[in-house]
Amino acid sequence: MRARVTVYPRPEILDPQGKAILQTL
C-alpha cells in the first residue's frame, strides 16, 4: 500500500491530513 504513497509528488503528504486523502481515494 505504501506504493500509493510514493505516487504522491512529495513525502510531506504523509502528514495526518495525507492519511485522510488516502481514505477519500
Residue 12's pLDDT is 56
Residue 14's pLDDT is 60
Count of CB atoms situated within 10 Å of the CB of 19? 11
Residue 23's pLDDT is 60
What is this structure's pTM? 0.20
> Of 21, 24, 22, 20, which is closest to residue 1 (Cα–Cα)?
22
Residue 5's pLDDT is 56
Residue 13's pLDDT is 53
pLDDT digits (tens, 9 = 90+) for 1-25: 555 555 556 555 566 666 666 665 5
